[in-house]
Copies of this chain bind each other. A is one copy, B any other.
Amino acid sequence: MSDAQGPLAIVAGGGSIPIAVAEAVMRRGRRVVLFPVRGWADPAAVERFPHYWVAVGQGGRLARYAHAEGCRDMVLVGTALRPALTSLRLDWTTLRLLPEIWRAFRGGDDHLLSGVARIFQELGFRVVGAHEVAPEILMPRGNIGTFGPEQRDLADIARGLALLRALGPFDVGQAVVVADNQVLAIEAVDGTDNMLERIAELRERGRVATGKGVGVLIKAPKPTQDRRLDMPAIGPKTVEAAARAGLAGIAVLAESTIVAEPAELARAADAAKLFVCGVGAP
């Protein structure tokens, strides 16, 4: 059913990762057609690719153009704001699938995304992961940049990974912050950047006992998560937010996290004297 040489449809949410994926796939000599989602994707960034804007709920429009372009494979990538169900303008194709969508909307993001993937599968596409079409975007094992975790950081990383594993069944965040053995924050609907901003604020108000330069942002996919659909991701902005939160570094699960702009990320990490490392599953 797959057609790894045919053109690839990329349904593009927000952030720089959809663009990084599109570029990596093109470098491999494969044609891409972008479907930037209105309100999420960056208009300037999609300009240089063949693209069709779609709104959330316009599954029919998306399927029509993707079929016309000859796409069989489809990647869903980028940040998405969970839309309010009442704000959706559903087209007829999507309306037909309403019970499916309704089921998808109850529960965590995981659940929502796999519902959306199921819908595109019913519309005749093979939904593949960004890392399957462009494995070079994955975080390698080891450090990016000059710095690496110290002994205390390694203990914080182990605790963070264990906590994320325990959260798995609840389809909640992919990120936590642990500082000198204390859990400072757990991501939920707020997202990683907001969580880091929150730590910066708590620190200003004297609510964080550990000094600056202590603590690690730990990101890992949920154990139950469909990795085709919602890979954790980091980029230079994550490094800057972690620096503002006064952390020592960032640890992500190697081969299971997307790095948007590795060169810029390394530069940002060195500038902020933070480590960024890919660790193995515990």
Interface residues, chain A, with chain B CB atoms under 8 Å away = 81-86, 105-108, 159, 162-163, 166-167, 169-173, 180-186, 188-190, 198, 202, 206-209, 211
Contact = CB atoms under 8 A, between A and B. Distances in A.
Contact of A189 (B107, B181, B207): B207
For the complex of A and B, 3 pairs with smallest distance between CB atoms: A172-B183, A186-B186, A107-B181
B81 A206 contact: yes
Nearest to A152: B106
Contacts of A180: 106
20 contacts: A81-B207, A82-B209, A83-B209, A84-B209, A106-B180, A106-B182, A108-B181, A162-B170, A163-B167, A163-B172, A166-B170, A167-B167, A170-B183, A183-B188, A184-B188, A185-B189, A186-B186, A189-B202, A189-B207, A190-B207
B189 A182 contact: yes
A142 to B, nearest CB: 27
A149 to B, nearest CB: 18
Nearest to A106: B181
Nearest to A83: B209
Quickly give the copy total for this chain: 2
Contacts of A86: 211
Contacts of A173: 186
A235 B106 CA distance: 31
A162 B168 CA distance: 12
B209 A105 contact: yes
A173 B184 CA distance: 10
A255 to B, nearest CB: 25
Given A171-B183, A190-B207, 18 more contacts: A81-B206, A82-B207, A82-B209, A86-B211, A105-B209, A106-B180, A106-B182, A107-B182, A163-B170, A163-B172, A166-B166, A166-B169, A166-B170, A167-B167, A170-B183, A185-B190, A190-B198, A190-B202
